[in-house]
Chain A
């Protein structure tokens, strides 16, 4: 089963553009964790994200898409990064997330990734014509 582990670092919503990890020890600990996930054969992929102050939002009201540049004043939680893992169960995903060398102001949210088979038959039939979804699923799965 595929799960996303979403890293939510408190305070990242106000991080300035160009903010990079500056704690070498913590960074190394995180790299060790990534290595452990890889060696256990559960890591699919992981990435860190630049802060929202360097991002943008697009909303889709009836008049057409509206673009807003970051930062976003009302954001209370933002993603700092993610892992995608492939494990046997939700409990296994929680166990892995609990081993993350996260700090006291960080939260990890575990979310199960939707597979084609999770959808009703008529929805699955709709995706049959689209190679990209099959290929992506194959590549990732």
Chain B
């Protein structure tokens, strides 16, 4: 099963504050552990929303708004993609992440083709399979 682990933004991440050397070192070790266990598929940080934009689809032309956006509990600072046997295993791994203080992560299961049900017609399923094969594999 694949999971996206969303690392929530904070005032610090939005301000571009670099984590401490200790934190970066600990995080590097944690990433290596996940890699050795064959769990990690990807791990990325995102630049603050001040470099970002939002597009609203109001029914007419899409409306673009430049960041920054309010630091709520819903902004994303980074993420991992992991592959594990169960949600419990995902949680067990993530409890070991060397976060401190007010950090929060959210674990979300990724849709696999089997999960989509009837909306994924045989034709679309074939297209989806082709997409998976042809896009860069993580």
Tell me whether A and B are bound partners: yes
Interface residues in chain A, defined as those with a beta carbon under 8 Å from any beta carbon in chain B: 2, 4, 6, 20-24, 27-28, 31, 34-35, 38, 43-50, 52, 54-62, 65, 67, 72, 74-79, 81-82, 84, 90, 94, 97-98, 100, 102-104, 106-114, 118-120, 122-123, 126-127, 129-133, 135-136, 139-140
Task: Give the distance to chain B from A100, nearest Cβ to Cβ, in Å.
Answer: 8
Q: Which B95-138 residues have a C-beta within 8 angstroms of A?
A: 95, 97, 99-111, 115-121, 124, 127-128, 131, 134-138
What residues of chain A lie closer than 8 Å to B21, measured between beta carbons? Answer: 122, 126
Bound-state CA distance A125–B76 (Å) is 26
What residues of chain B lie closer than 8 Å to A48, measured between beta carbons? Answer: 110-111
- The number of residue pairs between A and B whose CB atoms lie closer than 8 Å in the complex comes to 217
What residues of chain A lie closer than 8 Å to B74, measured between beta carbons? Answer: 75-78
Whether the pair B52, A112 counts as a contact (CB closer than 8 A) is yes
What residues of chain B lie closer than 8 Å to A97, measured between beta carbons? Answer: 55, 62
Return the chain A residue nearest B74 by Cβ. A77
19 contacts between A and B (CB under 8 A): A21-B116, A22-B118, A38-B134, A44-B135, A49-B108, A54-B108, A55-B107, A59-B102, A59-B105, A84-B44, A98-B62, A108-B55, A108-B57, A109-B52, A109-B53, A111-B76, A113-B46, A132-B32, A140-B138
Whether the pair A49, B109 counts as a contact (CB closer than 8 A) is yes
Main SS at interface, chain B: mixed
Give 9 closest A-B pairs by Cβ, nearest first: A132-B35, A48-B111, A114-B45, A60-B99, A50-B109, A65-B95, A111-B46, A98-B62, A77-B74
What residues of chain B lie closer than 8 Å to A62, measured between beta carbons? Answer: 100
Main SS at interface, chain A: mixed
The residue from B4, B25, B111, B136 contacting A44, defined by CB atoms under 8 A apart = B136
Bound-state CA distance A83–B137 (Å) is 13
From known contacts A6-B76, A49-B4, A130-B32, infer whether A136 and B55 are also in contact, taking CB-CB under 8 Å: no
Whether the pair A57, B51 counts as a contact (CB closer than 8 A) is no
